[in-house]
Amino acid sequence: MTSITTETARAAATGLKTLAIDIGGTGLKALVLDTGGNALTERARIETPQPALPEVVLTTLWTLIEPLGEFDRVSVGFPGVVMDGVTMTAPNLGKEWQGFDLAKAITEKTRRPARVLNDAGVQGYGVIEGQGVEMILTLGTGLGCALYSDGKYVPNLELAHHPFAKGKTYEQYVGKKALEKVGKKKWNKRVEEVIAQVMPIFNPRKLYLGGGNAKKLKIKLPEHVVITENVAGLLGGIALWHDTKNGKS
C-alpha cells in the first residue's frame, strides 16, 4: 500500500484531476477534484433514471459529466457491496447490477482509469480524521454504513439489511420510504433509536451522519455524533486513489 502522503505528493507533482461520481437511488452527482480533494467545478446533479438499468445509468452519467471538462481518473461511490470494482448488490437500483463490472464500464466510457467503492465508504473518506474507530451512517434512499479503523476502510459492512426492530431492518426503519410514511417527527425518533443501538455495538470514537436526509434531523445528538455535508460523498472520492487496494483500476 502506498502511503497517503507519498501518493498525494506524487499526484500533486503531476497535477492529476479526479472526476468524483456518486450514484444514488434518487440522484446522480459529479464534480472534479484537485489532488488535495478540493472541488474544481460546481457539483452537477441529475435524477437517477428509472428503471435504473446499468446501461441507462451510464448513458445518463455521460450527459452529467461531459460539461465538467477534463479529468485524469475517476472515483465512483455506489449504493451496494462492491468487490474489485464489480457491484455485487444494489438493493435500491435493481438486480441487473449484480455482478456488473462498473469500474471496467466507467473506464471504457471515459477512457480513464476508474475505481469504485460503496458510497457510504466514499462519503466517510470525505470526513473521517483517521484516528481510532470511526463510523458513518448515511440517510438517503436507503441506509448506508461504513466503518474505519485508523483511517482504513472495513469493506462490505451492510448494516442496512440487518434486523433492527418490529420485524424491520435498519433500512426499512429509517430509509426514505419510512420517512415518507411516518413523517419527520417520528422518523427523527427512529434515527435516535438507531444511534442508541449502534454506539454500544461498534463503540466508534466518532459517528458521522450523512446522506441527503441528514439535514432533516432535529434531535439532540450525543457527544461524538456529528452531521456531515452531503457533498462529502464526492469529496471523499480522492481517497480511493490513496490506497492501491481500493476499487479497481
Structure confidence by residue, pLDDT tens digits, 62-87: 999 999 999 999 999 999 999 999 99
Whether the pLDDT of residue 245 is over 60: the answer is: no
Do residues 45 and 29 touch, judged by C-beta distance below 8 A?
yes
The string of pLDDT tens digits covering residues 160-180 is: 999 998 899 999 999 999 999
> Can you list the domains of the chain with their CATH numbers?
4-118+237-241 (3.30.420.40), 128-227 (3.30.420.40)
Grid cell 470511526 is found at: 134
Grid cell 462498473 is found at: 102
Whether the pLDDT of residue 249 is over 50: the answer is: no
Cα–Cα distance for residue pair 86/126, rounded to 1 Å: 22
Q: How many of the other CB atoms lie within 10 Å of CB of 1?
A: 10
Whether the pLDDT of residue 9 is over 50: the answer is: no
- DSSP conformation letters of 78-132: ESS-EETTEE---TTT-GGGTTEEHHHHHHHHHTS-EEEEEHHHHHHHTT--SSS
Cα–Cα distance for residue pair 211/66, rounded to 1 Å: 25
Task: Give residue 247's pLDDT.
Answer: 44
Cα–Cα distance for residue pair 52/59, rounded to 1 Å: 11
For range 103-107, the mean pLDDT: 97
Task: Give residue 127's pLDDT.
Answer: 94
Mean of pLDDT over the chain:
90
Task: Give residue 14's pLDDT.
Answer: 58
The string of pLDDT tens digits covering residues 26-47 is: 999 999 999 988 999 999 999 9
Task: Give residue 229's pLDDT.
Answer: 87
* HSE-up of residue 129 (Cα within 13 Å, Cβ side): 11
Whether the pLDDT of residue 50 is over 50: the answer is: yes
The string of pLDDT tens digits covering residues 203-239 is: 999 999 999 999 999 999 999 999 998 888 888 999 9
For range 199-206, the mean pLDDT: 97
Task: Give residue 243's pLDDT.
Answer: 56
Cα–Cα distance for residue pair 214/173, rounded to 1 Å: 15
In one-letter notation, the amino acid at residue 246 is N
Task: Give residue 232's pLDDT.
Answer: 83
Do residues 71 and 19 touch, judged by C-beta distance below 8 A?
yes
By percentage, how much of the chain surpasses pLDDT 90?
82
Cα–Cα distance for residue pair 114/85, rounded to 1 Å: 8
For residues 135 and 1, the model is more confident at: 135
**The dihedral formed by the CA atoms of 27, 32, 37 and 43, expressed in degrees to the nearest 10:** -40
